[in-house]
Amino acid sequence: MADSNTIRLRVFSLNCWGIRYLSKHCRERYAMIGELLNREEHDIVLLQEVWSEKDFLCLKRKLSSTHPHSHYFKSGVIGSGMATFSRHRIHDAFLYRYSLNGYPYMAHHGDWFGGKAVGMVKLNIGRLAAHVYVTHLHAEYCREKDSYLPHRVVQAWELQQFIRHTSSGADLVILAGDLNLHPQDLGNRLLRTYTGLRDSYTETAKFDGCEDGITFIADNPFINPKELCPFEKGIRIDYILYKGSGRVSIQCESLSTTKGSVPDHPFPYSDHEALSAELQLQTLTQQAGGDETRGEQDCAAGKLAELVDIVTEARTEVKVGLYCAERMRYTAARTGVMGMALLLLELAIAAVPWLALGADQPFPRASFYLLGVLCFAILITTFLLYIFYTMEVKALQGAEDQMRLAVGSLQERLRGFPLAQPLNPLCRPLDRQDPCPLEPEE
């Protein structure tokens, strides 16, 4: 493989919806997934929502001959649910846990317990260093009134940061997973524009799959179509993204998705559709360009300006989240103070004779204890919530600080461009094979 200048790399991604005892036909679906992977022998398999390690180990056994290398990322209480299988040796793994990931008291949503994160494995494909990322962002439960939006934006921010900062030495970068972001959502634009990652769906030469590349489709029997409203047919939230470097040029030869059913099986692999991309890696004999033309400079400046806008938009979203988190923290504090006041009042009634009921009435012991317990419960709950919201505030402030720094730095670089002509915001990045067209020139 490494002898030739061209390498073909097949990448697979699937959100497995693998909640033992809760997800429908979980065991049977894992068996089907195992069969598929065994048969197709993709180079790299990136799975999400493999919530049980037992299921991972079962898959690992089944794939031991086709995919001898694997890694399961652990995080949170039941997570991270992310697993990777590879035909190429994995020589390093690293996990970044997102600082924000929903609320523990929203147990029915479960995201907090899943410990959402981005995992990275480093592989050598021939003589090329591949950094492969898998992630799963916080779900969107209600698009109109999405209280988790700031969390998802911060996750997308941290995801792009993690990829940018850990991919300097990579010849190729691949990210796959359930981003829970529509193609034009803020987090998606932030991720793609900042990292220079390209979407296999929009870039592929050949596509075979659901209309518009949707991966969460109304036709899937595990999905309640009402939940998809107003997107009747479905939404595209699962992705395989990639980029090359000065040493490697990548083209997406083909992309396919499953289509809600599997031939000869009564149900599909999961509630999400699986993605399979075939990438063609072309090793370059010499480093890309050096003499930039004026047009290319304008392009880079246009991209920078676009990025400034996107980060500013993200910052606004984070500020909205910050306002909400601060308000929630204030509410928790106020409720706690009221609980404390009630407790003190009660103690005063019990201790100071003239505040108590007349001597002719018996002391209402049961009510006294119940009220006391209520006060204590309020105090403890509000204390825990106060701590939690303070951490949320800190994380949001931290992200906002970093975004402010990034905007300043981008604007500084923008000032370095000689702008005689107006920018052309529609042009493509400087060099499509550039490892990261928007990394500062170090």
- Interface contacts to a copy of itself, rule CB under 8 A: 71-77, 79, 89-97, 99, 104, 115, 120, 122, 124, 128-129, 161-162, 165-166, 168-171, 365-366, 369-370, 373, 376, 380, 387, 390-391, 394-395, 397-398, 401-402, 405-406, 409, 412, 439-440, 442
* Pick 96 or 269: Cβ nearer a copy of itself: 96
CB of 380 to a copy of itself, least distance (A): 8
CB of 376 to a copy of itself, least distance (A): 8
Cα(306)–Cα(31) distance, integer angstroms: 45
List of residues 6+ apart from 115 with CB closer than 8 A: 75, 76, 77, 78, 79, 80, 97, 101
Among 93, 149, 124, 95, smallest CA distance to 9 is for: 124
* Pick 38 or 124: Cβ nearer a copy of itself: 124
* Pick 178 or 400: Cβ nearer a copy of itself: 400
Structure tokens at 119: 């995992």
CB of 395 to a copy of itself, least distance (A): 7
> DSSP 3-state assignment of 50?
coil
Say whether 136 is catalytic. no
CB of 131 to a copy of itself, least distance (A): 9
Tell me if 339 sits within 8 A of 347, measured CB to CB. Answer: no
What are the Cα distances from residue 431, in Å, to 7, 244, 284, 289, 333?
Answer: 21, 10, 14, 9, 52
CB of 358 to a copy of itself, least distance (A): 21
Cα(112)–Cα(39) distance, integer angstroms: 35
Among 216, 215, 213, 218, smallest CA distance to 255 is for: 213
Task: Name the active-site residue from 88, 138, 151, 272.
Answer: 272
* Pick 31 or 350: Cβ nearer a copy of itself: 350
Q: What is the DSSP letter of 346?
A: H
* Pick 225 or 398: Cβ nearer a copy of itself: 398
Structure tokens at 365: 């012991």
Tell me which residue has tokens 């204390």. Answer: 383
Length of the chain: 442
CB of 158 to a copy of itself, least distance (A): 9
Backbone phi and psi for residue 44, each to the nearest 5 degrees, phi listed first: -130, 130
* Pick 23 or 75: Cβ nearer a copy of itself: 75
Positions marked active-site:
272
